[in-house]
Structure 1
Amino acid sequence: MRLLLVEDERELADTLAEGLRREGYAVEVAYDGRAALAAVAAADIELMVLDRDLPVLTGDAVCRTLRAQRHPVRILMLTAAGGLDDRVTGLDLGADDYLAKPFAYLELLARLRALGRRVHDAAPVMEAAGVRCDTARRLVERDGRPVAVTRKELAVLETLLTARGGYVSVDELRDEVWQGEGGRTVVKATVHTLRRKLGHPDPIDSAPGLGYRMRELP
């Protein structure tokens, strides 16, 4: 799997790159935000470890640019700012996961493996109950009608579609989409808004104690 490591502390970047290569990743390194965007444009990057505090162009700007381009790269954001507000801001920018410095190398590896599974498990285009989700371009349609969704709503929909008719519990959605942060109320509110946007007939089924799944509509 091709991975781009974006870190301006060169000693840390080179040490991490060496370790990740031993783990089997094809690692490229960029030391500033502008070089990161150039590397993504030049190669098929699937995973990115992105430091938030970068010279020339910040990690926030890199993440925002890639998401505006609907690039499918999975982004693990690194930062010295590890407060809840900082993590929420990073995820809302479009990061798929967030890890505060200093971090344990084994945790970094575990998070990259989880993101790697999401790269391979998600089909480019998934459909169910009249809902079409293009995960690469991050586009959603209902019966041919474009549906504007937030990143969290898109991630919830992608998780439900990947389950292929199986139930996904509220706690599983919280772990997958919010990385365990936030409460069950936030998950339920996001699903409620997603259902409203997708319209009638409701394509999402819910069952007490089981969670949510995509319906099989006639």
Structure 2
Amino acid sequence: MRILVVEDSVTLANGLATVLKQGGYAVDIVGDGGSALAVLAAERFDLVVLDLTLPDMDGIDVLRTIRGRQHDAAVLILSARGALEDRVKGLDLGADDYMIKPFDVGELEARVRMLLRRRAGLKAATMAFGEVAFDLNTRSFSAQGAAIDIPARELALLETLFMRAGKVVSKQAIIESLAGFDEDLSANAVEQYVSRLRKRLAPYGLTVRTARGIGYYLEKIAPGA
């Protein structure tokens, strides 16, 4: 899952990025509205965390443009402007949620999970494929009631494949879901993550198949096959 943070405070933006990256998300940062719109015109994001007080334009105008261009990313406004008028206007213009600074990090993480779950069209907090279950609230995987220990980057890969279980996910889509535009993630690196993930999933009746020249997909197999 890829998130764009639009925040002119470098300290806060870096803090948000650190928290979100620890959760396994790919995070990019921009400090003004013009840059946000330029990035969104060129790249795909699942969620935009948007400040309203930006140096070049009001965040409300950024939101209006995002929705006018029919970007499908979820938008979470994160602003010190807590007046009812601002909140109503933001939500009416298409924001999916609105949080007021200062904020609790745990609540922010919960709202991010909720918005990404809603964007994926998932109503339940858990989903399963074969023997493996995915808890969208904690972003954790388990099988037969026991947690599956997966490093952050492989977890993000599995989450991307799990959300589209049985369908092919292109290599480019995987790269975009795992890395921000300041990271150089090659197709070879993705293949390494896929190889490691195959080994982790083998005991649980799942594997990652290669659609040659296209991408990868999850498939159920007999344990030990």
- Closer, same or farther: CA 174–122 of 1 in aligned 2, 3 Å: farther
Paired residue for 2:59?
none
1:64-103 correspondence to structure 2 within 5 Å: 64=18, 91=21, 94-101=24-31
Structure 2: stretches of 5+ with no match in the other structure: 49-70, 75-114
Letter in 2 for 1:106: L
1:118-137 correspondence to structure 2 within 5 Å: 118-119=116-117, 120-121=119-120, 123=122, 124-137=125-138
- Closer, same or farther: CA 182–62 of 1 in aligned 2, 3 Å: closer
Contact 1:129 1:214 in 2 (8 A): no
Paired residue for 2:170?
169
1:1-218 correspondence to structure 2 within 5 Å: 49=6, 53-54=10-11, 59-61=13-15, 64=18, 91=21, 94-101=24-31, 104-107=35-38, 111=45, 112=48, 113=71, 115-116=73-74, 118-119=116-117, 120-121=119-120, 123=122, 124-179=125-180, 181-200=184-203, 201-217=205-221
Deviation for aligned residue 1:147: 1.0
Taking the aligned partners of 1:213 and 1:168, their CA distance within structure 2 comes to: 6
| Percent sequence identity over aligned pairs | 21
Taking the aligned partners of 1:48 and 1:194, their CA distance within structure 2 comes to: 29
Deviation for aligned residue 1:62: 5.0
Please give the secondary structure, in 2, of the residue aligned with 1:154.
Answer: helix
Aligned length: 146
Letter in 2 for 1:194: L
- Closer, same or farther: CA 165–114 of 1 in aligned 2, 3 Å: same
- Closer, same or farther: CA 168–47 of 1 in aligned 2, 3 Å: closer
Taking the aligned partners of 1:109 and 1:171, their CA distance within structure 2 comes to: 17
| Residues 176-218 of structure 1 deviation map (CA, whole Å, 9 limit, x = unaligned) | 2224641001111112222222233443222322322111346
Structure 1: stretches of 5+ with no match in the other structure: 1-45, 68-90
Scaled by the length of structure 1, the TM-score of the pair is 0.53
Deviates more, 1:154-163 or 1:108-117: 108-117
Taking the aligned partners of 2:129 and 2:156, their CA distance within structure 1 comes to: 15
Deviation for aligned residue 1:59: 4.8
Taking the aligned partners of 1:149 and 1:178, their CA distance within structure 2 comes to: 17
Deviation for aligned residue 1:165: 0.9
- Closer, same or farther: CA 190–114 of 1 in aligned 2, 3 Å: farther
Scaled by the length of structure 2, the TM-score of the pair is 0.51
Deviation for aligned residue 1:162: 1.6
- Closer, same or farther: CA 122–157 of 1 in aligned 2, 3 Å: farther
RMSD of Structure 2 on Structure 1 (CA):
3.4
Contact 1:63 1:94 in 2 (8 A): no
Taking the aligned partners of 1:50 and 1:152, their CA distance within structure 2 comes to: 25
Letter in 1 for 2:27: D
Q: Using CA pairs under 8 Å that are at least 6 residues apart, name the structure with larger relative contact order, 1 or 2.
A: 2
